Amino acid sequence: MKVSVEYQALAPIIILLASGVLSVLVEAFIPRTLRRPIQLMLVLASIVLAFAYVVINATAELAGDPLVNGGQVKGLRELAASGSIAIDGPGMVIQGIILLISFVAALLLAERQIDPQGDAFASRSSTLPGSEDERQFTAQGWLQTEIWPLYLFCVGGLLLFPVSNDFLTMFVALEVFSLPLYLIASMARRRRLLSQEAALKYFILGAFSSAFFLFGAALIYAATSSVNFSTVAVAMENSSQDGLIIPGIGMIAVGLLFKVGAVPFHQWVPDVYQGSPTPLTAFMSAATKVAAFGALLRVFYVAFGGMRWDWRPMMWVVAVLSMVIGSLLAVTQTDMKRMLAFSSVAHTGFILLGVISTSAAGLSSTLFYLLAYGFTSVGVFAIVGLVRDASGEATHLSQWAGLGKKSPWIATIFALFLLALAGIPLTSGFTGKFAVFTAAIDGGATPLVIVAVVASAVAAFFYARVIVLMFFTEPPVDGPSVVVPSALTTVAIGTSAAFTVLLGIAPQPVLDLVINAGLFIR
């Protein structure tokens, strides 16, 4: 067999991983004062270049096999790296979404005006919290740039995850993006004990779930003698080894559902979202979820598509539990970041409706929802990072009282994001929910949609509660204030707000895009 590497199709992934290596070298050889501008340029340039390649590949004139394209659909559609990676319409859309979100999140991570001591990361993560060393390094204004190589590797892994076309590539991609996230999660400047605890929990549970994924892949391999999705799909049709296949599907589902944060694999979500540095939470809640849903869709549509009658009941249960438990627990929270984390669990349930439909409409509506939710989520956590008092971020709900009177602009934009999360018309959240619910009804999941609508109503309550708290209560005397950020965060929040509004009032171009993206190739 001839081994081939399709460099153009793989360019986005290669660019990000190569910049990651470069970034490590910058960290090693460039003097401290120059590192930050160089790293930042490297990160932003590589993301822009990778995005340009995604656009070029997606609009290439009939680059792939004319039979696959049917002469109708534009753009590259090919199996790259000897069938290990599938660059196709949905894959490229997801890569594009991840790159957009990574760009905006990189601006948040680079912000240095919000915290008077520097950025959101510990001056030296090796120092003990509360020690004399830590005080000295902080007083001398030490800032680390080590997050940037980690960030680049993470984005590279995220780009590979949803386009991998066999279980080995998918497992490696899973670890490539997870390991940097575990590390960055432990590096917060303030509340370092919480941050380290979040990293420990994330790591232990993440490693646990990826072991499930791997063992599931081993069982599928034992039953079908291949790990390639297309071969697995064909082999499953004629296989009689249900004793291996059904547990295999279940265990792979555990690994993937953990990454998207669906109930009952959601326990890490609130702790990790609360404990991590807030800019990282913004990135993680959006980009990781998009990539993980991309992978989930590909595995369950391509590899397990023929077994849908076996896995659908399981997904039904997971979707209902995610929507109901996510919404109900969010109501009881008193911490802003935890509340948003549970709301993210509920949104996972909504997005699963699109997965369950197993149709072209289900696929395209899921892609739209991911774009809409991703930007709203980045924006919401960006604003959470701005509300601070002397000890750092003020995340307790009671501290947000009366914020609308002190900072009407920020409070209004925050209210816009909350309305989008609740799914109020004229925001991106409504369009996304509408598309997903329609696809689910067409796919025969009407009872699920009823549960989803009820859960949305419950969810609307706790979003509205925050809005009421901000605008219709008196601010506490020594309450927190909204810090004026630098242009970086302003641009990030502005972009997220623009996407949230535009996808609500004029969603048609993006809807056309996700519909034209077509189906996964086999």
Residues that bind another protein (CB under 8 A): 125-126, 128-129, 168, 171-172, 175, 179, 182-183, 186, 192-194, 196-201, 203-204, 207-208, 211-212, 214-215, 217-219, 221-222, 225-227, 270-271, 274-275, 329, 332, 338
Q: Which is nearer to another protein, 128 or 477 (CB)?
A: 128
Sheet holding 392-393, edge to edge: 392-393, 387-389, 481-482
Q: How far is the CB of 17 from another protein (least distance, A)?
A: 14
Q: Could you tell me if residue 6 is left (phi over 0), alpha (psi between -120 and 50 degrees) or otherwise beta?
A: beta
Cβ neighbours around 508 below 10 Å, total: 8
Helix (H, G, I), strand (E, B) or coil at 180: helix
Going by C-beta distance under 8 Å and a sequence separation of 6 or more, which residues neighbour residue 180?
150, 151, 153, 154, 157
Q: How far is the CB of 345 from another protein (least distance, A)?
A: 13
* Residue from 152, 147, 140 nearest 187 by CA: 147
Q: How far is the CB of 243 from another protein (least distance, A)?
A: 10
Q: Which is nearer to another protein, 142 or 208 (CB)?
A: 208
Cβ neighbours around 415 below 10 Å, total: 18
- Cβ–Cβ under 8 Å, residues 359 and 86: no
Q: How far is the CB of 194 from another protein (least distance, A)?
A: 6
Indicate the helix (H) or strand (E) that contains 377: helix 360-384
Q: How many Å apart are CA 364 and CA 350, to the nearest integer? A: 14
Q: How far is the CB of 509 from another protein (least distance, A)?
A: 40
- Cβ–Cβ under 8 Å, residues 456 and 423: yes
Q: Which is nearer to another protein, 129 or 475 (CB)?
A: 129
**3-state SS record for 433-464:** HHHHHHHHHHCCCHHHHHHHHHHHHHHHHHHH
Q: How far is the CB of 63 from another protein (least distance, A)?
A: 29
Encoded tokens for 168: 């080995």
Q: Which is nearer to another protein, 259 or 433 (CB)?
A: 259
Q: How far is the CB of 155 from another protein (least distance, A)?
A: 17
Q: Which is nearer to another protein, 56 or 179 (CB)?
A: 179
Indicate the helix (H) or strand (E) that contains 388: strand 387-389
Q: How far is the CB of 354 from another protein (least distance, A)?
A: 29
Q: How many Å apart are CA 211 and CA 33, to the nearest integer? A: 41
- Cβ–Cβ under 8 Å, residues 498 and 378: no
Going by C-beta distance under 8 Å and a sequence separation of 6 or more, which residues neighbour residue 407?
481, 482
Q: How many Å apart are CA 484 and CA 502, to the nearest integer? A: 25
Q: Which is nearer to another protein, 226 or 359 (CB)?
A: 226
Q: Which is nearer to another protein, 391 or 508 (CB)?
A: 391
Q: How many Å apart are CA 272 and CA 286, to the nearest integer? A: 14
Indicate the helix (H) or strand (E) that contains 482: strand 481-482
Q: How far is the CB of 410 from another protein (least distance, A)?
A: 26
Q: Which is nearer to another protein, 243 or 444 (CB)?
A: 243
Q: Which is nearer to another protein, 126 or 238 (CB)?
A: 126
Q: Which is nearer to another protein, 145 or 196 (CB)?
A: 196
Q: How many Å apart are CA 297 and CA 305, to the nearest integer? A: 10
Q: Which is nearer to another protein, 18 or 207 (CB)?
A: 207
Strand ranges inside 37-178, DSSP E:
78-80, 85-87
User: Rg (Cα) of the chain, in Å, rounded?
Assistant: 22
Q: How far is the CB of 71 from another protein (least distance, A)?
A: 35
* Residue from 298, 299, 158, 290 nearest 217 by CA: 299
Q: How far is the CB of 129 from another protein (least distance, A)?
A: 6
Q: How far is the CB of 182 from another protein (least distance, A)?
A: 6
Q: How far is the CB of 224 from another protein (least distance, A)?
A: 8
Q: Which is nearer to another protein, 221 or 283 (CB)?
A: 221
Q: Which is nearer to another protein, 128 or 390 (CB)?
A: 128
